[in-house]
Chains A and B, each alone.
Chain A
């Protein structure tokens, strides 16, 4: 009985040692990975900051102004002026489309259909 107990505890020690060994290396791998990722994040952040700076540099008002002058033929952009404000009421909106009304029983509903087309602004040839 004692011998069996000794053998079992010896096996348990071996198993625990093996587990600890594996965990140790797994942790080290994970740590290395974290370090790599952090370096990558830092590098990406740096390049993001650089790109934001470059974006701001390329979009600086002075340069845009020059580009607008250079490309006037294609873009025809002018400074914003008070006269360019318009009233929403002055805008020409396209005529609203009237959706077809399905009849309750799924069949075409002749009487109302005619009436609906008659409401359209260009109702000449609707029959």
Chain B
């Protein structure tokens, strides 16, 4: 109930007593102000209290959240965008038709926490029973020497993993692994190389290429931007398999130590097959030879097609002949002095087996009969400088640019001083060494009309441009000469009906480590192209230390060893490459006009 400021009874009373009634009003005003102040303070403190509670709640929420974040286990952010693939894998490798050459497989590594093992001795025995390479006592000793972590195996099969599960010891643990798998085994082993583990952790391990294309294109294969797109090689699985099969059979028949074969598409520079024998299994690479006396070429890891830097012998003769024609010094019919033996300073240049094809021989016959003396005279007509420049243009002075890590190390062996005797010997492939792949690239230049193309192992979709090293006309004449070698020269076994093989044989004595040459160890090479009228492919076959023992005395010339192997290869491979035989292999039944 609100009291009035001037209550009438009190005013009247005060007036009667002669006091000032304003005092009563002032007193009441003061009381009323006091009441208002009390009320306002109460309301304000209630508001402040509410605000304090709100702030306390907010801080509490933040505090609890911070505590939760600090205490919780970190979680990987989830990529929730649809279609994002799991691309941490190394890219697959496929052949030109998409057939798988290398892929990944998930497997597990095995490790142990020795302090958590319930029965170290029993576990060691059980593990030794599962894995043949483990030794129970050795393992038990390592379990007991106080270490807290121990890798036991890098990869294992699902069966082995199941057996380890069955041991049931809590101290044995599995680590997920990606493993490189080569489903075709030894096929194209030297191209693929192999892969191993790099940095290893418990959760994952890095897979790195250790040789071949796996090493050369390692960063590209591991690039996450590939998004699972496989690496397409130029190899053709069926051609490669056939080449390897024929090469292995040929090495067996010719009692050779090893061999190499290359099939190259002359229009694109793609290598359709590249084989070296003996081969190895890239799933389980053999240990490289490290002994002082070991020769690298004795290991199956050695890629004879790329690393095998040999003197390639008479296969080089066509280069001197082509250059002489290119320079206008000779035509296929020009008569060349081929009177053997030829004496140059203190050197004597002779023909195979002491023959003498002279006194004069046409350039085409110099190639067909493989006359050293004849081609030596041609080389002297050309001169050392020009010969060197021509061979350099054909790629004989640099490592091949193919995508194999071994290729960079295989630099051709060239004499430092290009004297006249080097000019002579280089014209018939002695005194300088190159790999069969160099030879394939150079022959491809003759086959495709005079353009040098870089050999590649990656699939090319369209013809590529290269550098012109000779005119089309000269290339065609050189091809006709090479065809002559097969029709009436040293490579008569290479005449595969329907495929017009053209090529050149080469036989070179192997150099001794101590200097000089072995008398009974040779490298036989046959460099060929088919079909000669419009070549599509170049085939190089090289055999290491072959000998044909079917005759009365051992024969070691390429015409008897490498050529039959190459002919069988062409017969088997050309249909696979989709080449129709140009002449009907079976004569149609002759039609005769019947009497009517």
Q: Which residues of A approach B to under 8 Å, CB–CB? A: 31, 34-35, 38, 41-42, 45-46, 49-50, 52-57, 60-62, 65, 79-85
Q: Is B78 touching A35 in the complex (CB atoms < 8 A)?
A: yes
Given contacts A46-B106, A52-B103, A82-B571, contact A61 B187 (CB under 8 A): yes
- Bound: A49/B181 CA distance, A: 11
Contact of A82 among B78, B104, B581 (CB under 8 A): B581
Mostly, the A contact residues are helix
Q: Whole-angstrom distance from the CB of A89 to the nearest CB of chain B?
A: 11
Q: Residues of B contacting A80 with CB < 8 Å? A: 572, 575-576
Determine the residue in chain B with the shortest Cβ distance to A47.
Answer: B106
B78 near A34: Cβ-Cβ < 8 Å: yes
Residue of A nearest to B575 (CB): A80
Pick 21 A–B contacts, CB within 8 A, sort by A.
A38-B78, A41-B86, A52-B100, A53-B105, A54-B183, A55-B100, A56-B183, A57-B183, A60-B183, A61-B184, A61-B237, A65-B241, A79-B572, A80-B576, A81-B572, A81-B575, A82-B498, A82-B571, A82-B585, A85-B575, A85-B585
Residues of B within 8 A of A82 (CB): 496-499, 571, 574-575, 581, 585
B80: interface (CB < 8 Å): yes
Residues 538-587 of B at the A interface (beta carbon under 8 Å)? 571-572, 574-576, 580-581, 585-586
Cβ-closest chain B residue relative to A30: B80
Question: Hey, which chain A residues are within 8 Å of B99, CB to CB?
Answer: 56
Which residue of the partner chain A has the closest CB to B580?
A85
Please give, as numbers and ranges, the residues of chain B lying within 8 Å of A49 by CB-CB distance: 103-105
Residues of B within 8 A of A79 (CB): 242, 572
Interface residues of B in 89-116 (CB under 8 A from A): 99-100, 103-106
- Residues of B within 8 Å of A65, CB to CB, are 241, 245
- A62 surroundings in chain B (CB, below 8 A): 184-187, 241
Contacts of B571 in A (CB 8 A): 81-82
How many Å lie between the Cα of A98 and that of B98 in the bound state?
A: 43
Task: Please state if B184 and A60 are interface contacts (CB–CB under 8 Å).
Answer: yes
Q: A110 vs B33: C-alpha distance in the bound complex, in angstroms?
A: 128
Interface centre among B100, B186, B187, B245 (most CB of A within 10 A): B100
Give chain A residues whose Cβ lies under 8 Å from the Cβ of B574.
Answer: 82
Give bound CA distance, A56 to B106, whole Å. Answer: 16
Q: Does B299 contact A (CB under 8 A)?
A: no
Check B238 for interface membership: any CB of A closer than 8 A.
yes
Give me 19 other A-B pairs in contact (C-beta within 8 A), A56-B103, A60-B185, A82-B498 excluded. A31-B78, A35-B78, A45-B85, A53-B183, A55-B100, A56-B99, A60-B184, A61-B184, A61-B237, A61-B238, A61-B241, A62-B184, A62-B185, A65-B241, A65-B245, A79-B572, A80-B576, A82-B574, A83-B581
Chain A residue at minimum C-beta to C-beta distance from B94: A56
Number of B residues, CB within 8 Å of A = 34
Cα distance A26–B103 in the bound complex, in angstroms: 40
Q: Is the Cβ of B183 less than 8 Å from the Cβ of A84? A: no
Give CA–CA (A49, B94) in the complex, Å. Answer: 13
* Contact residues in B for A84 (Cβ distance below 8 Å): 575
Please report the C-alpha to C-alpha distance between residue A20 and residue B334 in the assembled complex, in whole angstroms: 98
Contacts of B80 in A (CB 8 A): 31, 34
CB distance from A76 to the nearest CB of B (A): 18
Indicate if the CB atoms of A56 and B572 lie closer than 8 Å: no
Determine the distance from Cα of A76 to Cα of B186 in the docked complex, in whole angstroms.
Answer: 27
Nearest chain A CB to B497 CB, angstrom units: 7
Tell whether, in the assembled complex, residue B100 and residue A56 are in contact, meaning their CB atoms are under 8 Å apart: yes
- A63 vs chain B, min Cβ distance (A): 9
Residues on B with C-beta less than 8 A from A52 are 100, 103
Q: Which residues of A contact B498 (CB under 8 A)?
A: 82
The complex places the Cα of A20 from the Cα of B497 at a distance, in Å, of 83
The 8 Å CB contact of A42, one of B86, B497, B580, is B86
Interface bits B143-184 vs A (CB < 8 Å: 1, else 0)? 000000000000000000000000000000000000001011
Whole-angstrom distance between the Cβ of B583 and the nearest chain A Cβ? 10
Q: Which residue of A lies closest to B574 (CB)?
A: A82
A56 contacts across to B, CB distance below 8 A: 99-100, 103, 183-184
A49 to B183, CA, bound (A): 12
Expressed in whole angstroms, the minimum distance between the Cβ of B122 and any Cβ of chain A is: 33
Give the shortest distance, in Å, between A81 (CB) and chain B (any CB).
Answer: 6
Q: How far apart are the CA atoms of A42 and B87 in the complex, in Å?
A: 10
Rounded to whole Å, the gap between the CB of B91 and the closest CB of chain A is 12
- Chain A residue with minimal CB distance to B572? A79
Q: Could you tell me the distance in whole angstroms from the C-beta of B231 to the nearest C-beta in chain A?
A: 15
Contacts known (A35-B78, A61-B184); A85 close to B581, Cβ less than 8 A: yes
Cα separation A38 to B78 with both chains bound (whole Å)? 10
Measured in the bound complex, the distance between the Cα atoms of B531 and A38 in whole Å is: 54
Which residues B55-87 have CB closer than 8 A to chain A? 78, 80, 85-86
Distance, CA A62 to CA B572, complexed state (A)? 16
A93 smallest CB distance to B (angstroms): 18
* Closest chain B residue, CB of each to CB of A53: B103
